[in-house]
Amino acid sequence: MNVLVTGANGYLGQALCPYLVASGYHLVTLTRQPYGLQGTVNIPVPDYLVSLPEQAFVGQEVVIHLAARAHQPGSASKRIDEEYRRINVDTTLAIAHAALRAGARRFIFLSSIKVNGEVTTGLPFRSSDPPKPGDAYGRSKWQAEQALTALFDKTGTELVIVRPPLIWGGAPKGNLATLVRLIDLKIPLPFKSLRNRRDLVSLGNLCSLIRCCLDHPAAAGQTLLVSDARPRSTAEIIWLISSQAKFSPRLVAFPTSLLRLLRHVPVIGTKLDKLISNLEVDIGQTQTLLGWQPEMD
């Protein structure tokens, strides 16, 4: 099968592309910087909106769109919002139009659980829940989902949307990278007694699901949630990434009630809220539709 992958040299792409090549797929990769991976054809594209190579899409059965402006913790400004819109919505649509014109059979879009919201209270997120994105990144992903759904409606190209939570494995990114920096500074982290529940997804499990979405008939037209199916407390997440990075965390007990009060403190409150709250994901629909199961780490 011929597959085109955008953002192939990003965090997920660098895990997914070798995985697909090893599985026998023929890849064309689009990246902003040159990316050399044996068994693939790479086409550097400095700006997808300015110089998108339409010929690269010809003959591609599936397009996997990973390229995006990643979520930046704490970022908030009009300029950042416009950049999210330009890259996560406008660029996504340009690539989708190219895939549609070339007659691609399927378009797989990597979205985010942030479309659903930032925290769960009681019930885990489901794909059927009303979207409640809480920041510019989540809103841009939701806008892209809506635009893609409208574009591919009643066409011969099938849309598959995948919404992962925080991804772990390899070099930590985003919020996990922030935690690694704190661990490396040997700062005591007050999460030892915290019993919250947060779903993550490993690079391996996410690659496995995307591989399944390439040709599974039941994936067509679906919005699929994914996770390791193993909610972890913040303390467990810290130990998980510490073992990956070979750091030794300093966890101390701190009353959960006081941690919750600190959520209202300016600057640190928002970041702390995401560390101590719950974010659970119900992947039952994904498992039932595709017969897919995450591997246990």
Write the CB contacts of 254 (distance below 8 Å, at least 6 apart in sequence).
Answer: 190, 191, 192, 193
pLDDT digits (tens, 9 = 90+) for 198-222: 999 999 999 999 999 999 999 999 9
State residue 213's pLDDT score. Answer: 98
The reply to whether 35 belongs to the active site is: no
DSSP 11: T
Task: List where CATH 3.40.50.720 sits in the chain.
Answer: 2-171+200-230+280-290
State residue 73's pLDDT score. Answer: 57
State residue 296's pLDDT score. Answer: 77
Does the pTM surpass 0.95? The reply is: no
Q: Which residues of the chain have pLDDT under 70?
A: 71-77, 245-247, 262-271, 297
Terminal-to-terminal C-alpha distance of the chain: 29
pLDDT digits (tens, 9 = 90+) for 54-100: 999 999 999 999 999 886 655 556 787 889 999 999 999 999 999 99
Chosen CATH of 2-171+200-230+280-290 out of 3.90.1150.10, 3.30.450.30, 2.70.70.10, 3.40.50.720: 3.40.50.720
State residue 267's pLDDT score. Answer: 55
DSSP states of 231-253: -B-HHHHHHHHHHHHT----B--
State residue 49's pLDDT score. Answer: 92
